[in-house]
Amino acid sequence: MASSTLSLKSLRDTSTLKSEISLLETEKKDLIAKLEREKKLVKKLQEDLIEQKKDFDHLEKQFHHFADIEADFEALQQEIQLERLENLLTIEKLESQNNSTDKKSKEEVKELQKELRELKQLDPLRLKRQVVDLKKKTITQASENKAINTALVNTRKELKETTAEKDNLDFDLKAALSESHSFWQSKDGEWVLFETGLVLKDETAPKDEDDRHIRVRCMNLATGTSVLSKELITDGKEKDLASWYGELEIPEEVSKEAGKRLKKIAADLEDEHLDD
């Protein structure tokens, strides 16, 4: 302790005092620099926390959005199943009526033929009237049978269209659910890219996973608008950029990232076909 404590004589020494003051100033500067670094670190942590909160809010909105889609799909699926059941019951009822009517008609014709044989031996005028009545009944029955058959064909056609609509809805839902997470987002947080298997109105839904068509959806998070990729440009100044459906103006940086993803998707699909 005696060696580390300044003596009264050393305090009076101007050179020693200046040295101590210089040392204290150096320590002060170091402390100020350290404080600035700590402030910057705190500021950075606060910014990261804000970004993470934004990401969490965005994911939470997406979760609620797709939860609503799934609930709507389940309700629609139940409605379609109920409609299919009603159509099947209608078809069975029509077929039953048709069979019953045919059976009844055959019995009536058989009975009339029997009556006709008996009438041949009786009054010719009465026989003629019976023949006319028989022809009328036959024509009427043929018209009724034709109407029943037409209704049966229409019902089967509606059932087939309903089944095709359900298959398209199943495929659209799978494609929508596959967009739960983006694969790229711009630094300013305005643009985001997803992989999607959505089928356009004029396209035919694939029969199985091997025929699926994967494209990229670009969404503007500021406006909520989005577009689908059309194709990968393979020549010219815009080579390796994605082209888009619609008139939405997409930044070159976004089209470039989408183009990279489309090239990767094409390569993956080619590898899958080679493996098969």
pLDDT > 60? residue 92: yes
The rounded distance, in Å, linking the Cα atoms of 174 and 167 is 11
pLDDT digits (tens, 9 = 90+) for 28-37: 999 999 999 9
247 backbone dihedrals φ, ψ, rounded to 5°:
-110, 5
Rounded Cα–Cα distance for residues 239 and 228 (Å)? 18
User: Where is pLDDT greater, at 172 or 197?
Assistant: 197
**Structure tokens given for 127:** 């026989």
Q: What is the pLDDT of residue 245?
A: 92
pLDDT at 40: 92
Compute the distance between CA of residue 148 and CA of residue 162 in angstroms, rounded to an integer: 21
pLDDT at residue 232 in the model: 93
Tens of pLDDT, residue by residue over 229-243, are 999 999 999 999 999
Domain limits, the chain: 73-174, 179-201+208-275
Most confidently modeled range among 48-57, 62-71, 148-157, 247-256: 247-256
User: pLDDT per residue over 77-90, tens digit each?
Assistant: 888 888 888 888 88
Whether residue 48 has pLDDT greater than 70: yes
| Range with the poorest average pLDDT among 75-84, 92-101, 239-248 | 92-101
Q: How confident is the model at residue 4 (pLDDT cuts 50, 70, 90)?
A: very low
pTM given for the model: 0.37
Q: Between β-strands 215-220 and 191-196, what pairing exists: parallel, antiparallel or unpaired?
A: antiparallel
Confidence of residue 95 (pLDDT cuts 50, 70, 90): confident
**Range with the poorest average pLDDT among 146-160, 214-228, 260-274:** 146-160
pLDDT greater at residue 165 or residue 73: 73
pLDDT at 10 over 80: no
For the chain, what's the residue count?
A: 276
User: Does an H or E element contain 273, and which?
Assistant: helix 252-275
Query: Quick one: pLDDT at residue 51?
Result: 87
